[in-house]
Structure 1
Amino acid sequence: MRTRALARLVPLAAVAALALAGCAAAQDAQSSSGSSTDTANTPLVVAYSNPLNTLDPIRSDYNQTNTIADVAYDTLVTYDAQNTLVGSLATEFSLAPDATSVAITLRDGVTFHDGSPLTADDVAYTLDRYKKVGVGIASYLNGYGSTTVTDPTHLTITLTAPNGLFPGTLSKLYILEKALVTANAGTDDGQTWLQSHDAGSGPYAITTGTGDVVAQRFAGYWDFDAKRPSQYTFRRIDESPTKRDELKAGNLDIALALQSPDAAALAGADGVTVADLKVPNGAYMFMNTANGPTANVAVRKALQLAYDYSGGLDQIRGGKGTVENGPLPQTMPCLTSSPAFSQNLDLAKQTLAQAGITDLHLTMRFQPAITDQAREATLFQSDLRKIGVTLDLQPIAFADYLSSLGNPDTIPQLMLLQDTAALPDPGVYLTKAYDSKSTGTNRAAYHNPQVDALLDQAATTSDTAARCTMYQQAQNLINADAPSVSMYTLTAPVGYRTGLTGITASQTVYPLSLKGVRVA
C-alpha cells in the first residue's frame, strides 16, 4: 500500500521549503534517533476538504486549517476523552475565585521547531496578536484584557469581566513563537508569512506550505513518540466518492469528511477500516426568528413538528447518530431532559390552523454539493407538502451564507447545515449560537432576554453544578421558542488504512486530532 501511495501522489504545485532555522538539524536528529522501536518510519497521506487559504492558526476556525495547525502547534490546555480540561503546554492553570484572571505555569523543556525555548513571553505575544488581528479564533478572546509575565514559566491572564468559560477557550488558541513571527511580521502581523510557514512547537514541522502541505515529525518535541507517523502529506479532495476510491486504491491513508454512502461502500474493503467517531456534530435547520414568516413562533413549531427525524437519520445518514432533544449536540454535558424530537404531522397542521396561517410559502438555502444535506432538503420539502406548506430550495455557497449572518435582514428564512461544537462546553456553544449579542454566529437572529441573562450569569460563576442547571434552563427556553429544527447528532465517518491506531474523536479538532495517530 505504501509503495502505491507514494507512486501515485499528485505532484506538488509550487513547492517551497520553509526557511525554519534548525529544521535540517531537527530532521537529522530525527533520523539518528531511529531504533528497533521506531515503527513509524512511514509517511501518511490525509485527505481534507475545501480550500486551504492559510496555515495561520488564527484561522483555525476553518476546519481545514485547524486539522493541520493541530499537528504543528500546541495549546496551553486541551480536553481529554471525558471532556475534562487538562494541561498541555501548561502544567498548572487556575481560575481566580472571582473568575477575572487565570494563573498559568508552563511546562519546562518545550522548544519551537527552530530550537528556541518556549517562554511566557511567547504566550503573551500570541494572545495579544490574536486580539489585535481580530479575526478567526480571536472570537474566543472576548473579555481578554492582558497578560502579565512573572518569569519564563509563569504568567497571569487578566480578563475585563468575570468569565468562567475562559479557561476552556484556551484549548483553541495555538501558541506561536514570538521572535520568529515578529521577524516576519511585515505590515500585517505575520499573516502573509504564516500563510505558508509555521512558528509552532507541535509534534510536526511544516516543511512544504504550498500545494500539498507536508509536515515532518519533529524529533525535539516535548512529548516525542517514535510510533507517530514520520510525515503527513495533506491533500485537498472535496469529493467524497473520490476519497473513497483513493482510499481503496491505496493512495490515501486517512480520509476525512466522508459522506454516509461512501463510508458504507468502504465496508469490507481490503486493508481499509471505517470508524464512526462520536463528535459534537449536529444537523440543523436554522430559522430566521427576526424577519419574515419564520418570525412567527407558530410557524417555527409547525416546521419542527413536520420533519421526519427517524426517517432522515435512518434512510439518509444510515442510522449513524442520535435524534436530538434540544439545541445541544447529544455528546455534550448538561443536556435538557426533554424527549427527543419526533414527527407529528397532525399537530403541525393544527398548530398552523390555530394561528390562522394558510398558503405558507417558504425558502430554504442548502449546500447541494453535500449529498446528505441535499437529500435532507428534499425530504423536508416533501414533509412540508403534507401539511400544506410549499418549500423552495435554493443553493448557497457556505462563504456567502457566513457573510449573511451579520444582519438579521439578510439571514436566510431557513438554512440547512451541520454545526460542530468547537469545545465540549455547553456554555460556549449556547452563547455562540443563541446569545443575542453573538452577531455573526447567532444563525437564527435569536433573542430571548431570559436566555441571555442565564448565559451571562453562568459565565460569572465558578460553580460547575450551578452552571449546568442554568444551561438546562436555557435549553428549555430555547426549545419553547423553536429557533431551529434540531435534527440529530451525527457521528463522523473516517476511513483509514488498517493498522493505524488512535483514530478517536477529538473535542477540539473535528473529527480527530492527528497528533494521536500511531502506526501499529
Structure 2
Amino acid sequence: MLALAAGASILSLALSGCSSAGSGQPKADAADATLVAYTGQAGDYQINFNPFSPSQIAGPGTIFEPLFYLNKAAKDAKPEPLLGTESSWNEDGTALSVTLREGVTWSDGEPFTADDVAFTFNLLKKHPALNSLGFKGEVKVVDNTHITFNFKDSAFVSGPDILTQAVIVPEHLWAKLNPETDVIEKPVGTGAYTLADFNPQAFTLKANPSYWGGEPELKNIRYLALSGNTAGADAIAQGTIDWQTGPIPDIQNVSTNFPDYAKLTVAQSQQVLATCANVKLGCTGAQTDPAVRRAIYLALDRTQLNTLAYENTAAPISPSFALPDTQSQWISQKVQPAVAPETADPQAAAALLEEAGWKKGADGIFAKAGKKLSLTIEVVTGWTDYITAIQTITEQAKAAGIQIQAAQSSWNEWTDKRTKGEFELAIDSLWQGPAPDPYYVYNYFFSSESTAKVGKTSGNNYSRYANDSVDKAINALKTIPFEDSTARQQQYDVIQQQIVADMPYIPVLTGGTTSVWNTAKFTGWPTAEDTYAFPAVWSRLDAAQVFKALKPVQG
C-alpha cells in the first residue's frame, strides 16, 4: 500500500499540465499533449542518455536514430528510410553502399554528414564492449551523403544490423567523450525528440521542431519511474498513464474493464533464467555446472508458469532459441524435443544431477563437496510477473532437489549485477534481431566477442558464454547469404547442439509482450491488422516509430 501511495504521489506531481482521458474527462489539448509512459522502471532514474550504455534510460530511436528502421513484428518487413534513404550490396556481399538523407541537422544546429556515420561505426570497433553487433568492416566516406561499408568476406547477414540497429552519434561532440563510461546528460541527436527536463522520478522528451521528418504531432513524452507493475496497473485503472508494456490483472479483458484503453500482444521475447556460466571468466556457483542448468530446465512446469505468472499470454520456447512459430524451419532435427517440455520431469532432472556427482541430502536438496545446490535469481523489485514466476519456479525446482530463492533490487542495481556478471541466475529475456532469422540471437547472446570477465561490463552476452565451435559457426553464418538455407542449416546444427548441451541461458517461455494504451487520448496505435512496429514501450527503436505515428484526440 505504501508503494502504491508513493506511486500515486509521483503521478500527481508528474502529470501537471496534462489531462487524463478517463470516462467523461477532457481529452488532450493537441497543442501541448503529453503522453505518459511507464517502461517498468522500478526505482528512481539515474540520468544516462548514452545510447551505448546498458543502463541508458532513453535515447535510441527518439533522440538518436539509426540509418533505417526494420519492423521485427512483421515477417516480410523491408527497411524504412531514416538517416539513410537507399542501400545496396555489391554482387559478392563485400561492400554495402548507403545513401544518406540530405538536409539533416543535429538538434544543436550542426549539419549531419557521412563523417558522423563513419565516426560511429569506428567507435564501435574501437570499443569492443559497445560492439554488440560484432561489426568488423571498414567504413569509407565517399562524400557528405554517401558511405560504403567494406568487408573482407561476404557479409550479407550483417546488413540488417548495420542499417537498423546502430544509432548514429555526432562526431563533433562524441570525439571528446569516453563512450564506455560517460553518461550523457544533454543528448544531441537527429531524432524527432529532444530532452526537455529530468528528475529522478520522471523526465520529459519534447518534439524537435527542426526534425527532418517534420515536427511530430505528439508534442511531449513523459516517462515515469514507479514502484513496479502493481503501481503501473493501478495507474492504468486510474487513467493516469497512457502506455505501459507489462502485466495488469485480467489482461485478456482490458477494453471491457477499462473502456478508454486497448491492448496488443506479440510473442517474441524469449524469457530465460540467465546464468553466469563461465568459470574461466570468473563465474562462481553451482550454476557453472551444465548439469545443474539442464536439470533446472527439466524441472520447470511451463504450463503452470504460464497460468500463474503470465495469465496464459506466453507461448512455447525452443531450447535452440529459434522461434517455434516463425523460425521453426531452422530448428535442427538433432534438437529433441524441438520445443521445451510443457510439464516438469523432476526424476530426469535428479538423474542428471546424480550422474554429475551431486547427491541428495536428508532434506531433499542435492549437494556436492559439502555445498548445497542453492541458487539465487536476481529480479527487479516490482516486476510482479517475474516475481510470481520465481516463486513458482522455486517450488518446481524444490521437487527436483534444487533450492532457489529470489533477490530483488532496483532496475539500476539489477542491470549492474547482470552486465558485470555478479549474479548466479537472472530472470530476463533475449530479444530478436532485425530480421526473422535466429542468427541474430546467436550473434548477440552467444558470441564470445560480446562478453567480458566478471567485474567488467559485458556486451549482450552477459552469461559469459564461450564455445569455439559456436563462435566459428556464428562467424561462418556472417558470410552465407540468407537464401542459402542448406549452408546456413549446417551452421545452425552446430550452434544448436552446443547451446542445448551447455544451456548458458535456461529457456523458460516465449513471453507474450502486451502493451496497454490509451485510445481515448491518442490515435494511431499499432493493431493486430497493422502492427507497423513491435508494440513495446521499452523497445526503444520501435517505440520511436509509434510516437511519430500518434495523434492527440482533439478536446
TM bin, normalised by shorter chain, reads 0.7 to 0.9
1:391 CA drift (Å): 3.5
Q: Distance in 2 between matches of 1:54 and 1:464?
A: 41
Q: Distance in 2 between matches of 1:188 and 1:63?
A: 15
Aligned to 1:53: 47
**Which letter does structure 2 place at the counterpart of 1:285?**
L
1:485 CA drift (Å): 2.6
Aligned to 2:339: 340
Q: Distance in 1 between matches of 2:144 and 2:278?
A: 50
Q: Distance in 1 between matches of 2:90 and 2:33?
A: 46
1:386 CA drift (Å): 2.0
Aligned to 1:34: none
| Alpha-carbon spacing, 1:386–1:452, altered in 2? closer, same or farther (3 Å) | same
Superposed CA deviations along residues 408-459 of structure 1, whole A, max 9, x for unmatched, are xx662x4333333354452222123223443234344444433222212111
Structure 1 gaps of 5+ residues are 13-37
Q: Distance in 2 between matches of 1:190 and 1:303?
A: 35
| Alpha-carbon spacing, 1:470–1:110, altered in 2? closer, same or farther (3 Å) | farther
Q: Distance in 2 between matches of 1:40 and 1:263?
A: 32
| Alpha-carbon spacing, 1:191–1:348, altered in 2? closer, same or farther (3 Å) | closer
Farther-moved stretch of structure 1 (377-386 vs 464-473):
464-473
| Alpha-carbon spacing, 1:116–1:125, altered in 2? closer, same or farther (3 Å) | same
**Secondary structure of 1:64 counterpart:** coil
**Secondary structure of 1:278 counterpart:** strand
8 Å CA contact retained: 1:196, 1:209: no
| Alpha-carbon spacing, 1:8–1:262, altered in 2? closer, same or farther (3 Å) | farther
Aligned to 2:479: 460
Matches within 5 A, 1:357-396: 357-359=358-360, 360=366, 361-367=373-379, 369=381, 370-395=383-408
Q: Distance in 1 between matches of 2:301 and 2:198?
A: 45
8 Å CA contact retained: 1:164, 1:461: yes
Aligned to 2:261: 273
Aligned to 2:298: 305
Q: Distance in 2 between matches of 1:205 and 1:368?
A: 28
Superposed CA deviations along residues 191-229 of structure 1, whole A, max 9, x for unmatched, are 86x723232222223333556433332344333376x31
**Secondary structure of 1:235 counterpart:** strand
1:11 CA drift (Å): 7.9
1:230 pairs, out of 210, 214, 219, with: 219
Aligned to 2:515: 494
Structure 2 gaps of 5+ residues are 1-7, 17-28, 280-284, 361-365, 367-372, 452-457
Q: Distance in 1 between matches of 2:75 and 2:34?
A: 30
Q: Distance in 1 between matches of 2:277 and 2:291?
A: 11
Matches within 5 A, 1:283-302: 283-291=271-279, 293-302=286-295
Identity of aligned residues (%): 19
| Alpha-carbon spacing, 1:152–1:262, altered in 2? closer, same or farther (3 Å) | farther
State yes or no: 1:515 paired with 2:531: no
Aligned to 1:216: 206
Q: Distance in 2 between matches of 1:75 and 1:459?
A: 21
1:69 CA drift (Å): 3.3
Q: Distance in 2 between matches of 1:507 and 1:456?
A: 31
8 Å CA contact retained: 2:129, 2:180: no
Matches within 5 A, 1:226-265: 228-256=217-245, 258-261=246-249, 263=251
Aligned to 1:112: 106
Superposed CA deviations along residues 44-64 of structure 1, whole A, max 9, x for unmatched, are 2222315343123233x4463
Farther-moved stretch of structure 1 (261-270 vs 106-115):
261-270
1:420 pairs, out of 409, 431, 442, with: 431
Aligned to 1:17: none
8 Å CA contact retained: 1:279, 1:507: no
State yes or no: 1:207 paired with 2:227: no
RMSD: 3.7
Q: Distance in 1 between matches of 2:123 and 2:355?
A: 55
2:149 pairs, out of 150, 157, 170, with: 157
8 Å CA contact retained: 2:473, 2:492: no
1:311 CA drift (Å): 0.8
**Which letter does structure 2 place at the counterpart of 1:10?**
A
TM-score (norm 1): 0.78
Matches within 5 A, 1:80-119: 80=71, 81-82=74-75, 84-86=77-79, 87-119=81-113
**Secondary structure of 1:367 counterpart:** strand
**Which letter does structure 2 place at the counterpart of 1:151?**
D
2:69 pairs, out of 59, 64, 78, with: 78
| Alpha-carbon spacing, 1:57–1:389, altered in 2? closer, same or farther (3 Å) | closer
Q: Distance in 1 between matches of 2:470 and 2:95?
A: 25
2:135 pairs, out of 136, 139, 142, with: 142
1:312 CA drift (Å): 0.2
TM-score (norm 2): 0.74
**Secondary structure of 1:121 counterpart:** helix
1:307 CA drift (Å): 0.6
Q: Distance in 2 between matches of 1:7 and 1:261?
A: 20
Farther-moved stretch of structure 1 (392-401 vs 362-371):
392-401
**Secondary structure of 1:513 counterpart:** helix
| Alpha-carbon spacing, 1:446–1:53, altered in 2? closer, same or farther (3 Å) | same
| Alpha-carbon spacing, 1:270–1:125, altered in 2? closer, same or farther (3 Å) | same
Greater relative contact order structure (CA < 8 Å, 6+ sep): 2
**Which letter does structure 2 place at the counterpart of 1:282?**
Q
1:319 CA drift (Å): 0.7
Q: Distance in 2 between matches of 1:380 and 1:220?
A: 51
Q: Distance in 2 between matches of 1:232 and 1:395?
A: 29
8 Å CA contact retained: 1:113, 1:220: yes
1:254 CA drift (Å): 1.7
1:149 CA drift (Å): 1.6
Aligned to 1:433: 445
Q: Distance in 1 between matches of 2:499 and 2:177?
A: 44
Superposed CA deviations along residues 460-507 of structure 1, whole A, max 9, x for unmatched, are 223443364246412244224444430111122222212432245529
Q: Distance in 1 between matches of 2:165 and 2:433?
A: 8
**Secondary structure of 1:451 counterpart:** helix
Q: Distance in 2 between matches of 1:434 and 1:250?
A: 41
Superposed CA deviations along residues 256-291 of structure 1, whole A, max 9, x for unmatched, are 4x3354856956344442424325312112345555
**Which letter does structure 2 place at the counterpart of 1:44?**
L
